[in-house]
Structure 1
Amino acid sequence: MDLRGTVAVITGGCTGIGRATTLALARAGAAGVVATYRRSAAEAAELVPEAEALGARALTERADVADDFAVRALAATALRHFGRVDILVNNAGTTRAVPEHDLDALTDADWHEALDVNVVGAFRCARAFAPALRAASGALVNIASVSGYRAGGSSLAYGTSKAALLQLTRNLAGALAPHVRVNAVAPGTVATRWQTGLHGAEGFAERARAERETVPLRATPGPEHVAQAVLGLLHMDLVTGEAVIVDGGKHIRY
């Protein structure tokens, strides 16, 4: 896929991995980017001039992927503004940190929210944008997690939801073929506000330092490294149903 002149929608696209992906697409020549947010209104306002300075028309929209009406409205807005959508990046996600051994602390509400946002939310977006993506012979990338492959992560519900998202990626690759390619990126520990929110600034710094001692590439991925993988998959015209792990090789040491 030639990214020049494309229009991309990035859910959760105003902070962290989503923001890095939005700006990377603008830098690569996308004509239009639509980034969604749920609570990050200030960051959304800051993103627009940054993306437009890179040459893309930028639009930010408040949208909750747990709300099907909001998702369908988002698709209609993107098409009304840009006339097409070539790329969808399902990056919006949620979690609540719960120690894996504390089963009683993981509530039904935690499960419902993780699955509704991280899995069903991605499906809602794929369904709403499928007609536009088919018309454009476009591509979809889901942001999963290495927690979808191994035990661990912020909670049992989060890891399970990301494993389900990896399976959804494979199923959508079949359902949307041959016109739309569907792949995933599975980050490990990435230096973002998400991580400092879960562990605190000092806690995350120590966690990342300890990981770097064993990770083969001796580095903590940043959001820009995940964005690199997203753009890499977008460029791979005959790759679908695959997932790329971005963790500096951490997963080979598990």
Structure 2
Amino acid sequence: MEILLLRSALAPSLILLVSVVARRSGPRLGGLLLGAPTTSGPFLALMWLDGGNAPAARAAHGNIAAQLAVVSFCLAYGRLAPALHPARTLTAALACAAGAGVVAAVCASVWLTAALTVAVTCVGLRTWPAPVRTDPTPARARGWEIPVRMAVSATTVLLAMFAADALGSFTGGILAALPVLLAVMAPSTHRSTGADAAAAMMRAALTVAPGTVAFLLVLHSAFVAAGTQ
């Protein structure tokens, strides 16, 4: 119950924070906040408190597996945003994330998954194209957008948590770390501020991915070590 309440509160709160920060300080800082393990850390802490070291380790493994889906989403959306409508860009990015998520889910080695995620991130950042300004007059953000973003994120996370209860801690870890908030923020930023802003947000989230993976690996290793003592 504590995990459910925390996740359902954290998701819309983070959406609100990122929306305000992105509007006042630019999409890059918003992307950095979205890419950081803002929700994964508390989620794993509560998994450990609720079930002990073994479930927390499996959940951390799931979190790491989900990072490959996160970086794939960021790469796809950032690359396609200047050329496609927000809805089509989101569809393509979600398809890429789904494919990457399947690959990560069937990979038994947490270290191999982490290495693959970091490699994809590094290649993506090294080959990131220069911004092409395709939206010189973006639409103004509407007043109802932030509440809708918060409601969508909260609903999605709640559904993921109910599924996690039935499917186990590894699957729960994957569901908890999927790019739900990115999928909410990216098309909204794309529509209201332009393709350049959406791409900048995705690139910023991508730059945080190696640090997030390292953070989750440390937690996974700690839970495994504590469980063998």
Superposition TM-score, scaled by structure 2 size = 0.27
Determine which structure has greater relative contact order: mean sequence separation of CA pairs < 8 Å that are 6+ residues apart, divided by chain length: 2
Judging by fraction of residues, say which structure has more helix.
Answer: 2
Judging by fraction of residues, say which structure has more strand.
Answer: 1
Superposition TM-score, scaled by structure 1 size = 0.25
